[in-house]
Amino acid sequence: MAVSTNAFEMAQRQFDHVADLLNLDSQVREILRWPLREYHFRIPVRMDDGSIRVFQGFRVQHNDARGPNKGGIRFHPAETVDTVRALATWMTWKCAVADIPLGGGKGGVIVDPATLTDGEKERLVRGYIQSIWKNIGPRNDVPAPDVGTTPQMMGWMMDEYSRLSGEYTPGVITGKPVGGGGSLGRTEATGYGVIYTIREALKHLQMDGSKSLAAIQGFGNVAQYAAIGFIELIGGKVVCVSCWDREDRTAYTFTKEDGVDPHFLMSITDQYGSIDKAKAKDAGYKIEDGGAWISKDVDVLIPSALEGQINAETVKLIKPRVRVIAEGANGPTTPEADEVLKANGVFVIPDFLCNAGGVTVSYFEGVQNDMNYYWTKQEVLERLDTKMTQAFQSVLDMALKENVFMRDAAYMVAIARVAKAMELRGWI
């Protein structure tokens, strides 16, 4: 979902729209329109030059009726409490639609992490935990990495929490490195989750996966495993991927009409998801402008880079052959483009269903931490497949029953589940 300065108003508007469709009770609306709790705190950090800088931190807990709050911590210079509130609200819906027993939370610090040394980063994340540790924990709120934070930072946070609480508590945070309490399969989780939902969509539309073509925007964590999955699990071809080129400060599309080789492309991609143009060209890839992916004559589009990519202008470029749009990224489609896709009968797998594989394996990480027993990668991915398939099916059932677009159906499933949990707990 697009994150703008008024992101929280947008989250509330989306909620109101679906609350109307569901004819939701006014007291339930009153609870769900706002986060139940939020914490604002200032974090003083000793910098390497001996001075003290004070950072603003937030943690928002939107709703924990279904289980402990869950959501990442972002380090971003433009962070605002409204962005964090919106993201926490969306986490409530994402966990509910994936049917994992967790609520919605999100955290943030106003900082550009690129301006900090490793030592300063470590002191800042430890300071964050010192400020909030009494209000988080495996049973009430479990943070994770997000924009600007890394598995190493999660390791420091887990250590600080364990030190303050006096016991080893890996389940307080997910996204930890493997070997430090992390789960196998987390790297693949979001991209493969996207693929499990595409596989189900193709089945529903009675399309043959082995004859389908896909175009992907992005070549980072989500897109790489979506590309591998489309080829290896669905049996189709991926005709292009795209990426941002940091040197040229523009995006490019890397095309091979007879199918890209994602393993090769990964071998020439840096840690930020930028592909080496010269090596790709040598290997026979056509290098086109960054927008070319959207106008490919394919069956499936998989936007997996940024928000707002399918908008009132670009939606006109989509070819009639496209039957499925699988939103690997958060918020890739604007409401105006959504209306066009609806009118054209394109089957959209909405972001908070399509990319829920990441949070699902984060939940598995917490389960494994609780048991102190770790599954193989195959076990993790099989369980992920089961969860994603069930989630897709319940949204599709709602869409067919109520005759609504998949995005509305996903909200309806999620909001109804949270409302039900509140009722069962006697909150309403």
Considering beta carbons, is residue 262 or 358 the nearer one to ligand NAD?
Answer: 358
User: Residue 337: enclosing H or E segment and its boundaries?
Assistant: helix 335-343
Is residue 220 part of the contact set for ligand NAD (CB under 6 A)? yes
CA atoms of 264 and 284, how far apart (whole Å): 12
Residues 70, 106, 237, 296: which is the catalytic one?
A: 106
Is residue 266 part of the contact set for ligand NAD (CB under 6 A)? no
Candidate list 58, 161, 244, 254; residue touching ligand NAD; CB under 6 A: 244
Residue type, 96: A
> In 3-state terms, what secondary structure has residue 76?
strand
* Matching residue, tokens 């509130």: 85
Cα torsion for 385, 387, 392, 397, to the nearest 10°? Answer: 130
What lies within 8 Å, CB to CB, of 293 at 6+ separation is 215, 216, 217, 240, 241, 242, 253, 301
Smallest distance from ligand NAD to CB 113, Å: 14
Of the candidate spans 81-89, 241-249, 371-379, 416-424, the one that interacts with ligand NAD by CB under 6 A turns out to be 241-249
Of the candidate spans 117-125, 148-156, 213-221, 227-235, the one that interacts with ligand NAD by CB under 6 A turns out to be 213-221
Smallest distance from ligand NAD to CB 425, Å: 28
Is residue 72 part of the contact set for ligand NAD (CB under 6 A)? no
Is residue 233 part of the contact set for ligand NAD (CB under 6 A)? no
Contact 32, 419 (CB under 8 A): yes
Smallest distance from ligand NAD to CB 50, Å: 34
> In 3-state terms, what secondary structure has residue 185?
coil
Considering beta carbons, is residue 236 or 328 the nearer one to ligand NAD?
Answer: 328
Candidate list 197, 221, 255, 368; residue touching ligand NAD; CB under 6 A: 221
Nearest C-alpha neighbor of 322 from the set 304, 347, 340, 342: 347
Assign 3-state DSSP to the chain and report helix, strand, coil percentages, each to 5.
Answer: 50, 20, 30
Contact 304, 194 (CB under 8 A): yes
Candidate list 149, 183, 190, 197; residue touching ligand NAD; CB under 6 A: 190
Considering beta carbons, is residue 19 or 414 the nearer one to ligand NAD?
Answer: 414
Considering beta carbons, is residue 19 or 326 the nearer one to ligand NAD?
Answer: 326
Smallest distance from ligand NAD to CB 65, Å: 23
Smallest distance from ligand NAD to CB 331, Å: 7
Candidate list 251, 265, 298, 422; residue touching ligand NAD; CB under 6 A: 251
CA atoms of 350 and 117, how far apart (whole Å): 38
Mutual angle of helices 81-97 and 406-424, in 10-degree steps: 90
Strands of 172-308 (E only): list them.
213-217, 237-245, 250-255, 286-289, 300-303
Largest CA distance in the chain: 65
Smallest distance from ligand NAD to CB 91, Å: 11
Distance, first Cα to last Cα, the chain: 29
Considering beta carbons, is residue 58 or 192 the nearer one to ligand NAD?
Answer: 192
Candidate list 61, 169, 197, 355; residue touching ligand NAD; CB under 6 A: 355
Is residue 149 part of the contact set for ligand NAD (CB under 6 A)? no
Is residue 306 part of the contact set for ligand NAD (CB under 6 A)? yes
Considering beta carbons, is residue 67 or 191 the nearer one to ligand NAD?
Answer: 191
Smallest distance from ligand NAD to CB 148, Å: 11
176 noted as active-site residue: no
Contact 201, 392 (CB under 8 A): yes
Contact 29, 3 (CB under 8 A): no
Of the candidate spans 127-135, 322-330, 385-393, 409-417, the one that interacts with ligand NAD by CB under 6 A turns out to be 322-330
Smallest distance from ligand NAD to CB 83, Å: 13
Candidate list 129, 358, 366, 419; residue touching ligand NAD; CB under 6 A: 358
- Beta strand 237-245 pairing with 250-255: antiparallel
CA atoms of 280 and 292, how far apart (whole Å): 16
Contact 220, 307 (CB under 8 A): no
* Matching residue, tokens 């380090």: 75
Of the candidate spans 19-27, 199-207, 303-311, 312-320, the one that interacts with ligand NAD by CB under 6 A turns out to be 303-311
Candidate list 83, 169, 212, 242; residue touching ligand NAD; CB under 6 A: 242
- Beta strand 347-349 pairing with 69-76: unpaired
Candidate list 328, 365, 391, 413; residue touching ligand NAD; CB under 6 A: 328
Chain residues in the site for ligand NAD (CB under 6 A): 190, 217-223, 242-244, 251, 273-274, 290, 304-306, 328-330, 355, 358
Catalytic residues: 106
